[in-house]
Chains A and B, each alone.
Chain A
Amino acid sequence: MAIRSRPVAHPHLNAERHIMADLLIELFSEEIPARMQAGACDALKRMMTDGLVERGLTYADAQAFATPRRLALAVHGLTDHSPTTREERRGPKVGAPEKAIEGFLRSTGLRLEDLETRDDKKGQVYIAHVVTEGRAASAIVAEVLEQTIRNFPWPKSMRWGAGNLRWVRPLHSILCILSNDAGAEVVPLDVDGIVSGERTRGHRFMAPDEFSVVNFDDYAAKLKRAKVILDPVERADHIWNDASQMAFAAGLELVEDRGLLTEVAGLVEWPVVLMGRIDAQFLGLPPEVLQTSMKEHQKFFSLRDPKSGQITGFVTVANRETLDGGATILAGNQKVLAARLSDAKFFWDNDLRAVSDAGLEGMGAGLTAVTFHNKLGSQADRVGRIEALAREIAPRVGADEELAAMAARVAKADLRSEMVGEFPELQGLMGSYYARAAGLPDDVARACLEHYQPLGPSDSVPSSPVSVAVALADKIDTLTGFWAIDEKPTGSKDPYALRRAALGVIRLVLGNAVRFSLSGLPVQRHLIATLIILKGLEFHRRGEEIASDGLLRLLSAEEIKELSYRLVDSDQGWSEAQLFERMDEIAANLLAFFHDRLKVHLRDQGIRHDVIDACLAMPNNDDLTLLVKRAEVLAAFLKTSDGENLLQGFKRANNILTQAEAKDGVEYSFGPDPKLAEDGAEAALFVALDRAEAAITPAIWAEDFASAMGAMADLRAPIDAFFDAVQINADNQILRRNRLNLLHRIRAICLQVADLTRVEG
């Protein structure tokens, strides 16, 4: 079998001087969705430059641009051909069957007399010197560009007309030129009938005619004359500057919205900023409603009156200049806005009326008809579960139980409001407005909004106790529910955002220093209750007779009866034993999931995974606040030289002890006798261990990890001195046993603080 060696550039050709060229590509199409433009720029740049480099070209720099109608790439300092490479290939042995030799010749394209023979361990073998001629940049560019177009990673692509080519929308033309000081040449290319050229077009309405370009600078300049700003960043800056200035001149301030700015910059080639006022009849709407309606439907920026804090105006971005200075466009936009805001006002008024008639709970009554998940029942079912759990969590987070329960009952009611029906992203916020309108306590109104938080890793964590109780209950219910129906996230698939929910629990607990056991009684009760609702057909049938002691430890007979009436999934019931088994399995699995998310979270905070593992191995690891406190102190301790050395001493003691235990088949856990101490260092260690233990044990009980580790640090010097002065494996078996028992004390005392065996280094 022929073995290929790595291709190497031919030494003679390496010395040859390359002429550098610039490459310009433009893919001109019908309107590209704004949200896809940035990704398309990255993909075009990556696929082209990777392809060019793979084929032996080099370049100085590359930049990609997008407008609604074009993707462009400029590559500077591109070598004008790839180097000739020489490859040495080993062939069959001399005297090998003729077929093998023929095959080798065919694969190398050489004749027998071109081959070299060389001595090898097993005799003489044929060696082929295969020279691959360098190719002109033009041919390489054409090949790479065609591949790029045919394999472009659009999130969604389509066919058009009678062709088979796929692009995000119909692709109309390909501009592809290589240029240098001597001039420009079109790179010839034909992709399903679209032939490359050096021509493009300007703005759809303001400068629709075709023109030719010779290089990137010429291209960008001519486009600008043809009312197209190529660079999306330049368009965004232009919009932001004009809008800010207009707002300032009107005594208003522009509400920043980066996402919207990027989107709007992707909707226009020639941005023209226009400003308008919101009709007074709509100023009573909540500012978030005005902002959301204008943003979602119209892509308008909001303008705030700094004196009143109200949203009173808007900025819209047109794609063209007009003879009337945009007056027609602005009037049209204003009219559409008025229609939209009339709808919003209609929803707002109706919702307020509904709340004043029936209260916020009344508004939520219809949640029975809203499916949360077909296996987990309706939103009303969910609200019932969250309320029960929030009651149990409330005292643990310092919240009033009745307020937490009330907040849980109304927190999802706004899902039935007309406003949230229209703008789902206002869920929670509308609830808090309507709660205030219904005269509910402030804590409850705040919880309507805050119980969804934190929404992402950068979202703020609520601190009001009622909000914390409901937010925890909401997220834990989501997690236990989906775990109960076995819909856990897998790989990149997490359709119910369960990782986000778990991180939310972690941040709520840590951010508020909440002491809450994630596999403790409330969670167990919640889980078993969920499972009974899902699989408790048995209980439904047998009524009060059932329920073992184990179950009654978690739920009262009355509760079981009530839960069994709420049965969602009547297809298949489980026995009590199965329910219990599943509960333990799910609780353990869910805790492991929390731990995984916690590791990711702490790693982002700079705490090493082995430090976390050392703390995870300790008791009560379902109390995250305790766990993290321990981990933080341990991480800090290990950064000190005492910590570092103590760790070494511990590991030495542990290794010797573990080996001896394995060899002797016994556990050296018998208390060592200080009277047997021969050496001064050995006697000193006894004293030090007594002192350390007296300090560490109560400190651990008091969760004062800093004092515990401080006391442990004091062991560093005596342990080091002991190892220097004393031979553990003494000939005298009594002394050896006593010393091993002494090592055991070191290990036992240190392991009270954390499982140092898991710390690396």
Chain B
Amino acid sequence: MVETTENSSQKPQSFQEIILRLQNYWAAKGCAVLQPYDMEVGAGTFHPATTLRALGSRAWAAAYVQPSRRPTDGRYGENPNRLQHYYQYQVIIKPSPPDLQDLYLGSLRAIGIDDSLHDIRFVEDDWESPTLGAWGLGWEVWCDGMEVSQFTYFQQVGGHDCRPVSGELTYGLERLAMYVLGVDHVMDMPFNAPDAPIPLKYGDIFRQTEEEYSRHNFHAATTDMLLRHFEDAEAECARLLDLAPDDTATGKRIIMVHPAYDQCIKASHLFNLLDARGVISVTERQAYIGRVRALAKLCADAFVQTEAGGAVA
């Protein structure tokens, strides 16, 4: 059952229907609908479709769901709003179109938020990712006092000025869906249609995994191993970018930005796990963040040397 934007006047019935409507909406607005990045990331921004594609001069428009992990937010599935694994919906358009706010409001209508009944507000909230060396100005969008999205005009990524500027939208899908569906506890939210032959709730799919990962993240993960992997990822990222661009096998110029960036993402997630295990002191924390940022910067520096990064071949 695929909903389209035409019958958006009807309230969606499930979590997945909200996702499908967003996919259809942004597809109709011309975005390439990508699939989630196949690695553990802290937020949709880490997807190379955002972090790297925000750099350089080439136009870009993409939308995708990104499963995101924040180990410290685990609550064993008991907290009504907090999860260590959740979904973000991410839209990035470069250059940011002049009607991006209207496009965004259209997406809210598409998922059944009628702005003639609700109070929708753009409240100052500047975004910064110390690990990515990125920042932008924008808002958190409030619907009746609840934050439903983050809206950002990227100014810098990996220490590089964004020219042109990308407009980035991030929807916290569970929270938004709970609001639209009128559900108080995330685990009670219908994932597929409630009248499906086998109706599934969010909790049917994720309660057990939240428990397992909460225990793992807070108490079980082997910290020595995590530290070692962090060091490995850090070294590998730098090493890959240090290799000469000329590939001896093909004779082509191939800078391995994405493989290197994968290692940067890994380092970032490993840091988050170490943080959840409580083995990073306040002072060390800054140092670790700085190390991940240094990797992100290396990747950004390399990406702008490539064709996708706008370099002239």
Q: Which residues of A contact B (CB under 8 A)?
A: 30-31, 33-35, 68, 156-163, 168-170, 172, 205, 267-268, 298, 316, 318-320, 322-324, 328-329, 331-333, 335-337, 339, 369-371, 374
Contact = CB atoms under 8 A, between A and B. Distances in A.
B165 A158 contact: yes
B155 A35 contact: no
Contacts of A322: 116-119
Nearest to B184: A335
B98 to A, nearest CB: 7
B165 A298 contact: no
B117 A328 contact: yes
Interface string B109-120: 000000111111
A298 B145 contact: yes
A332 B146 contact: yes
B95 A332 contact: no
A370 B117 contact: no
B117 A156 contact: no
Contacts of B98: 161, 170, 172
B126 A336 contact: no
Main DSSP-derived SS at the A contact region: loop
A34 B125 CA distance: 11
B124 A33 contact: yes
Sorting the interface of chain B by its residue count into under 10, 10 to 19, 20 to 34 or 35 or more gives 35 or more
Interface in B113-136: 115-124, 126, 136
Given A156-B137, A158-B165, A332 B118 contact: yes
A328 B95 CA distance: 36
Contact of A328 (B101, B137, B144): B144
A323 B165 contact: no
Contacts of B184: 335
Contacts of A33: 124
B144 A336 contact: yes
Nearest to B161: A159
B96 A337 contact: no
Contacts of A371: 282-283
Contacts of B97: 161
Interface in B25-60: none
B282 A30 contact: no
Given A161-B95, A336-B146, A369-B281, A267 B165 contact: no
A168 B145 CA distance: 23
B252 to A, nearest CB: 31
Contacts of B137: 156-158, 168-169
B20 interface: no
B165 A160 contact: yes
Given A324-B117, A332-B118, 5 more contacts: A159-B165, A162-B164, A170-B98, A339-B81, A371-B282
Contact of A205 (B116, B123, B167): B116
Interface string B74-91: 000000110000000000
Contacts of B144: 328-329, 331-333, 336
Contacts of A168: 137
20 contacts: A31-B123, A158-B136, A158-B155, A159-B153, A160-B153, A160-B165, A161-B96, A161-B98, A169-B138, A170-B153, A205-B115, A318-B119, A329-B144, A332-B144, A335-B146, A336-B144, A336-B145, A339-B80, A339-B81, A371-B283
B191 interface: no
Nearest to A332: B144
A34 B118 contact: no
Nearest to A338: B184
B300 to A, nearest CB: 18
Contacts of B116: 205, 322-323
Given A30-B122, A329-B118, A369-B281, A160 B146 contact: no
A286 to B, nearest CB: 22
